[in-house]
Protein backbone atom coordinates (compact mmCIF):
# COMPACT_ATOMS: atom_id res chain seq x y z
CA UNK A 1 0.00 0.00 0.00
CA UNK A 2 1.30 3.46 -0.90
CA UNK A 3 1.74 5.99 1.86
CA UNK A 4 -1.00 8.59 2.11
CA UNK A 5 1.47 11.29 1.14
CA UNK A 6 1.62 9.73 -2.34
CA UNK A 7 -2.12 10.20 -2.75
CA UNK A 8 -1.89 13.82 -1.60
CA UNK A 9 0.89 14.43 -4.12
CA UNK A 10 -1.25 12.87 -6.89
CA UNK A 11 -4.11 15.18 -5.96
CA UNK A 12 -1.74 18.12 -6.19
CA UNK A 13 -0.37 17.03 -9.59
CA UNK A 14 -3.54 15.87 -11.32
CA UNK A 15 -6.61 16.24 -9.17
CA UNK A 16 -9.16 18.83 -8.29
CA UNK A 17 -9.49 17.98 -4.62
CA UNK A 18 -9.77 15.37 -1.92
CA UNK A 19 -12.61 13.48 -0.24
CA UNK A 20 -11.95 12.60 3.40
CA UNK A 21 -13.14 9.38 5.00
CA UNK A 22 -16.27 9.05 7.13
CA UNK A 23 -14.48 9.90 10.36
CA UNK A 24 -14.84 12.81 12.78
CA UNK A 25 -13.54 16.20 11.65
CA UNK A 26 -10.45 16.21 13.90
CA UNK A 27 -9.28 13.03 12.18
CA UNK A 28 -9.78 14.47 8.69
CA UNK A 29 -8.10 17.78 9.52
CA UNK A 30 -4.54 16.49 9.11
CA UNK A 31 -5.37 14.97 5.71
CA UNK A 32 -6.91 18.25 4.55
CA UNK A 33 -3.79 20.10 5.76
CA UNK A 34 -1.53 17.64 3.92
CA UNK A 35 -3.49 18.06 0.69
CA UNK A 36 -3.26 21.85 0.98
CA UNK A 37 0.49 21.60 1.62
CA UNK A 38 1.05 19.27 -1.35
CA UNK A 39 -1.05 21.61 -3.51
CA UNK A 40 1.12 24.58 -2.54
CA UNK A 41 4.35 22.61 -3.02
CA UNK A 42 3.21 21.62 -6.51
CA UNK A 43 2.72 25.30 -7.31
CA UNK A 44 -0.98 24.92 -8.04
CA UNK A 45 -3.10 28.05 -8.12
CA UNK A 46 -6.16 28.36 -5.91
CA UNK A 47 -7.05 25.66 -3.43
CA UNK A 48 -8.00 22.01 -3.65
CA UNK A 49 -11.69 21.20 -3.21
CA UNK A 50 -12.06 19.49 0.17
CA UNK A 51 -15.09 17.28 0.74
CA UNK A 52 -16.00 15.60 4.01
CA UNK A 53 -18.33 12.68 4.68
CA UNK A 54 -20.32 12.03 7.83
CA UNK A 55 -22.98 9.50 8.71
CA UNK A 56 -26.16 10.81 10.29
CA UNK A 57 -29.31 9.46 11.87
CA UNK A 58 -32.10 11.55 13.32
CA UNK A 59 -35.39 9.68 13.56
CA UNK A 60 -33.97 6.22 14.17
CA UNK A 61 -30.62 6.79 15.85
CA UNK A 62 -30.29 3.32 17.38
CA UNK A 63 -30.93 1.69 14.01
CA UNK A 64 -28.47 4.09 12.41
CA UNK A 65 -25.75 3.12 14.87
CA UNK A 66 -26.50 -0.56 14.29
CA UNK A 67 -26.33 -0.13 10.51
CA UNK A 68 -23.01 1.72 10.57
CA UNK A 69 -21.56 -0.78 13.05
CA UNK A 70 -22.68 -3.68 10.87
CA UNK A 71 -21.17 -2.11 7.76
CA UNK A 72 -17.77 -1.46 9.33
CA UNK A 73 -17.54 -4.44 11.67
CA UNK A 74 -15.38 -6.34 9.18
CA UNK A 75 -12.68 -3.68 9.57
CA UNK A 76 -12.29 -4.54 13.26
CA UNK A 77 -13.94 -3.28 16.40
CA UNK A 78 -11.66 -0.24 16.79
CA UNK A 79 -12.45 1.20 13.35
CA UNK A 80 -16.13 0.25 13.55
CA UNK A 81 -16.43 1.91 16.96
CA UNK A 82 -14.63 5.04 15.81
CA UNK A 83 -16.91 5.53 12.81
CA UNK A 84 -20.08 4.52 14.65
CA UNK A 85 -19.34 6.77 17.62
CA UNK A 86 -18.56 9.64 15.24
CA UNK A 87 -21.98 9.44 13.60
CA UNK A 88 -24.04 12.62 13.85
CA UNK A 89 -27.06 11.28 15.72
CA UNK A 90 -29.56 13.87 16.79
CA UNK A 91 -29.95 17.53 15.86
CA UNK A 92 -27.24 18.78 18.19
CA UNK A 93 -24.62 16.39 16.87
CA UNK A 94 -25.56 17.21 13.27
CA UNK A 95 -25.07 20.92 13.97
CA UNK A 96 -21.79 20.16 15.76
CA UNK A 97 -20.57 18.07 12.81
CA UNK A 98 -21.45 20.81 10.31
CA UNK A 99 -19.56 23.37 12.41
CA UNK A 100 -16.57 21.08 12.98
CA UNK A 101 -16.13 20.34 9.28
CA UNK A 102 -16.53 24.04 8.44
CA UNK A 103 -13.84 24.82 11.03
CA UNK A 104 -11.32 22.54 9.29
CA UNK A 105 -12.09 24.15 5.93
CA UNK A 106 -14.31 21.58 4.24
CA UNK A 107 -15.82 23.05 1.09
CA UNK A 108 -18.64 20.53 1.23
CA UNK A 109 -20.02 18.10 3.79
CA UNK A 110 -21.95 15.09 2.54
CA UNK A 111 -24.27 13.83 5.26
CA UNK A 112 -24.90 10.16 4.58
CA UNK A 113 -28.12 8.92 6.19
CA UNK A 114 -27.48 5.73 8.13
CA UNK A 115 -31.09 4.57 7.88
CA UNK A 116 -33.32 3.94 4.88
CA UNK A 117 -36.09 6.33 5.91
CA UNK A 118 -36.57 9.04 3.23
CA UNK A 119 -37.82 11.39 5.98
CA UNK A 120 -34.21 11.60 7.19
CA UNK A 121 -33.49 14.00 4.31
CA UNK A 122 -36.26 16.37 5.41
CA UNK A 123 -35.08 16.14 9.02
CA UNK A 124 -31.53 17.02 7.94
CA UNK A 125 -32.76 19.91 5.80
CA UNK A 126 -34.70 21.34 8.76
CA UNK A 127 -31.48 21.36 10.80
CA UNK A 128 -28.83 22.50 8.35
CA UNK A 129 -30.62 24.71 5.82
Task: Show the domains of the chain with their CATH numbers.
Answer: 4-128 (3.20.20.30)
pLDDT of residue 1: 37
pLDDT of residue 104: 98
- Quote the CA–CA distance of 111 and 54 in Å, as a whole number: 5
pLDDT of residue 59: 86
pLDDT of residue 4: 62
* Residues lower than pLDDT 70 in the chain: 1-4
Residue 53 CA: distances (Å) to CA of 13, 23, 24, 40, 46? 23, 7, 9, 24, 23
**Residue in 67, 108, 65, 62 with CA at minimum distance from that of residue 87:** 65
Write the DSSP symbol of residue 118: T
pLDDT of residue 32: 96
Residue 112 β-bridge partners: 55
Query: 54 CB contacts (<8 Å, ≥6 apart)?
Result: 22, 86, 87, 88, 97, 101, 109, 110, 111, 112
Q: How many residues belong to the chain?
A: 129
Amino acid sequence: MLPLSASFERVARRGAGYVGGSVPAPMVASAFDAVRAAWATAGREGSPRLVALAYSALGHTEQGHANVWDYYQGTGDEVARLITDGMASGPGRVKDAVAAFADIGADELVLNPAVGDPDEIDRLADIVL
